Amino acid sequence: MESSIRFELIKEDKYTKARLGKLHTPHGVIETPIFMPVGTKATVKTMTPEELKEIGSQIILSNTYHLYLRPGHDLIKEAGGLHKFMHWDGPILTDSGGFQVFSLGDLRKITEEGVKFQSHIDGSRHFISPEKSIEIQNALGSDIAMAFDECAPYPASHDYVKNSLERTTRWAKRCIDAHQNPNQALFGIVQGGMYKDLREQSAKELVALDFPGYAIGGLSVGEPAEMMYDMLDFTVPFLPREKPRYNMGVGTPDYLIESVMRGIDMADCVLPTRIARNGTFLTSAGRIAIKNAKHERDFTPVDPECDCYCCKNYSKAYLRHLFREKEILGARLASIHNLHFLLKLMENIREAIRNDDLLAFRETFYKKYGYEL
Amino acid sequence: MESSIRFELIKEDKYTKARLGKLHTPHGVIETPIFMPVGTKATVKTMTPEELKEIGSQIILSNTYHLYLRPGHDLIKEAGGLHKFMHWDGPILTDSGGFQVFSLGDLRKITEEGVKFQSHIDGSRHFISPEKSIEIQNALGSDIAMAFDECAPYPASHDYVKNSLERTTRWAKRCIDAHQNPNQALFGIVQGGMYKDLREQSAKELVALDFPGYAIGGLSVGEPAEMMYDMLDFTVPFLPREKPRYNMGVGTPDYLIESVMRGIDMADCVLPTRIARNGTFLTSAGRIAIKNAKHERDFTPVDPECDCYCCKNYSKAYLRHLFREKEILGARLASIHNLHFLLKLMENIREAIRNDDLLAFRETFYKKYGYEL
């Protein structure tokens, strides 16, 4: 099947493996590298689609596992697909449900056929196979679907990870065979845990299947940062230069910068919106916990360098008041700010790549942010 | 002190006591009759000020009792006043704190001097007198402050209510003496419970004090609707024709229409936003409980006649999904819709008064809404 997306490689950085690109999808063009806000249950928590656009969101991610359970992919298909259901007309990437299902622990059982599991909501019994995952994602109608994989835990034995990645490759083939939606691109997911030989094996097997894009899965699962960087350094070169690369579940500024430097084009994470709802703000000078008493009478914005709606119009004192009173507007403003912060960071990264200036940008950013190089 | 507001009586209805007016305040002109969204803790729950304007909010109400406890009126004064603190540049009315303090029941004790009470948050001990209430409201810097009154419970004996209203009159005088902010108008509050002789006494005593506006307090406190309408019929004629009249705590469509017909210019209530957060929508065909299973696969808007952001872009099925999943966007969309519904109702009421058409408008509205005349 001809792919419904096209990746245009605009420029490669002189000094790092960072790349500037454009990903053409049925719902619009994404400038890469990009961060994807997460809208787990067909809503990026607290935000409207218009607000997401306003802060520069180009693509969002939604979760197959959650939408399958509630409200059901058949209902969303009946509504005209996920875009129409949630009133977002930009590109959407759906995960495969694999990661969520495997995270259920004792509630799931893996066989060659697929995964049996019990709903975390009501204990009801379900079965997701590669074919089922693709059926659900086809029904949701996302622009990019992900192959159903197993994200091996960390740590895990070489044997366990080898078996797991080989099954992931077999499942990847089944996903390709099952895939029916001509307006949806299917990405493969490289696994292999923290073993380089297995990362190489997984990458080669999946590249042979010729997916239009590749994710690197099984990173940012509790391993030390240096180990993740090492795995990226090692794995990315096995992936085709002309296809987009996606590091799953990465959303701190340092992880984003380090991923991009290693050749990553896309990333996603619930972190910015999750910590927002707890009153933590990402700023150019590091994180701020707004509920801290020291902000009580601070009438300055959270980040004086930020031009988001929150920073232009509200003070730390007001935000602290909203969070102390558990007012929804607080969670909204923090979500706007944190997502804007990461999206602006990606914009600055793209600009730095354009100017072959990424290393200097990184140094300046880290110094201000308080991150040790 | 010269009043900082001016009420312009544009037109009186031919067939009812309804009036069309303009209330000029330091932060803008309000077309009356108007409904005021409630922003208890310096935020209309879930909404930004821009969204409030978008749906036609002309003035909002904020609560003195809550802001006095948290974050404190001194902090808000330091922030530059309530408008700046919460980023709302339109008119604000603050209540006196009286109603909230009296609602504390066993936690408060009334004397001639004022009311001793314990905070509902942490049990800390406080004292609010007429002077203190005015001091707080002066610090908040609202456009309209309310005199500190006692809202007698319903039912209450003639003796109790008589004592209470006479103390309210004495307190009203103390409020006038204490009032210092030249950019703030102070309204008196007529009490008298469900006794006509006491309503008359209270109205006459307060009118003699020459406030720039009058509220009718102590209604919508549990009495039958007919009793409230009877009290309005009786009391309003004692109030000066050339000054605005405010029925406190009224926010259902029928109460609003009936109040306006009896000569009321302003009203407020938490109802539209409170029921919104519970998934109840006010529509032209009556109330809708969105969590009801019958809306599961209903892909039509909540109110096909409504042109609000929620009804233009989202289906009942999506809204039901959001409420089932306790997603904040659900509470936001319902709040936008319900406030828009009441503000649009008031706009239609103003148009009907302009055309001497209010009685016909009322009949049509009630028939559709399912309200018995």
Residue B372 is predicted with a pLDDT of 76
**DSSP conformational letter for A38:** B
Residue B318 is nearest to which of A86, A315, A322, comparing CB atoms? A86
The active-site residue out of A13, A149, A265, A268 is: A268
Mean pLDDT of B257-268: 98
Question: What CA–CA distance (Å, rounded) separates A105 from B264?
Answer: 62
Residues 51-110 of A with CB under 8 A from B: 70-71, 75, 78-80, 85-87
- Which H or E run includes B312? helix B309-313
Residue A229 is predicted with a pLDDT of 98
Question: What's the angle, vertex CA A347, arms to CA A345 and CA A351, rounded to 5?
Answer: 115
Mean pLDDT of B170-182: 97
Encoded tokens for A37: 């806000």
Question: What CA–CA distance (Å, rounded) separates B132 from A74?
Answer: 60
Mean pLDDT of B209-221: 97
Query: What pLDDT, in 10s, does the model give residues A113-122?
Result: 999 999 989 9
Question: What's the angle, vertex CA A261, arms to CA A9 and CA A207, rounded to 5?
Answer: 55
Residues of B in contact with A313 (CB under 8 A): 87
Query: What pLDDT, in 10s, does the model give residues B314-326?
Result: 999 999 999 999 9
**DSSP conformational letter for B243:** S
Chain A nearest CA to B285, separation (Å) = 24
Query: What pLDDT, in 10s, does the model give residues B42-61?
Result: 999 999 999 999 999 999 99
Residues of A in contact with B324 (CB under 8 A): 70-71
A95: annotated active-site residue = yes
- Note whether A322 contacts B: Cβ–Cβ < 8 A: yes
Mean pLDDT of chain A: 97
At position A102, the amino acid (one-letter code) is: F
Query: What pLDDT, in 10s, does the model give residues A163-187?
Result: 999 999 999 999 999 999 999 999 9
Query: What pLDDT, in 10s, does the model give residues A29-77?
Result: 999 999 999 999 999 999 999 999 999 999 999 999 999 999 999 999 9
Q: What does the DSSP assignment read for B68-116?
A: HHTT-HHHHHHTT-HHHHHT--S-EEE--SHHHHHTTGGGEEE-SS-EE
Query: What pLDDT, in 10s, does the model give residues A250-288?
Result: 999 999 999 999 999 999 999 999 999 999 999 999 999
Q: Which residue reads 């740590």 in tokens?
A: A155
Residue B325 is nearest to which of A41, A47, A331, comparing CB atoms? A41
Residue A2 is predicted with a pLDDT of 77
Residue A299 is nearest to which of B46, B79, B325, comparing CB atoms? B79
Mean pLDDT of B184-208: 98
Residue A43 is nearest to which of B48, B309, B329, comparing CB atoms? B329
**Structure-model confidence comparison of residues A358 and A120, the more confident one:** A358
Residue B2 is predicted with a pLDDT of 77
All residues at 6 or more sequence positions from B266 whose CB lies less than 8 Å from its CB, including other chains: B23, B32, B33, B34, B36, B59, B93, B244, B245, B246, B247
User: Under an 8 A CB cutoff, do B70 and A317 touch?
Assistant: no
Say yes or no to pLDDT of B1 above 70.
no
- Which H or E run includes B61? strand B60-62
User: Under an 8 A CB cutoff, do A328 and B327 touch?
Assistant: no
Question: What CA–CA distance (Å, rounded) separates A136 from A63?
Answer: 11
8 A C-beta contact, residue B213 and residue B232 = no
Mean pLDDT of A226-254: 98
Q: How many CB atoms lie within 10 A of CB B254?
A: 17
Say yes or no to pLDDT of A198 above 80.
yes
Question: What CA–CA distance (Å, rounded) separates A167 from A184?
Answer: 24
Q: How many CB atoms lie within 10 A of CB B75?
A: 18
Dihedral sign for Cα atoms in the order B147, B148, B154, B156: negative
Mean pLDDT of B99-119: 93
How does residue B309 score in pLDDT terms, banded at 50, 70 and 90? very high
At position A284, the amino acid (one-letter code) is: S
Chain B nearest CA to A50, separation (Å) = 11
Beta strand A28-32 pairing with A19-25: antiparallel
Residue A1 is predicted with a pLDDT of 63
Q: How many CB atoms lie within 10 A of CB A372?
A: 6
The active-site residue out of B13, B95, B143, B149 is: B95
How does residue B178 score in pLDDT terms, banded at 50, 70 and 90? very high
Question: What CA–CA distance (Å, rounded) separates A243 from A216?
Answer: 13
HSE value, Cβ hemisphere, 13 Å, CA-based, for B27: 22
Tallying the residues shown for chain B, one arrives at: 373
Chain B nearest CA to A337, separation (Å) = 14
Residues of A in contact with B43 (CB under 8 A): 322, 327, 329
Question: What CA–CA distance (Å, rounded) separates A286 from A62?
Answer: 28
Question: What CA–CA distance (Å, rounded) separates A291 from A316?
Answer: 9
Q: Which among B153, B160, B167 is positioned nearest to B222, based on CA atoms?
A: B153
Among B1-10, B184-193, B316-325, the minimum mean pLDDT is found in B1-10
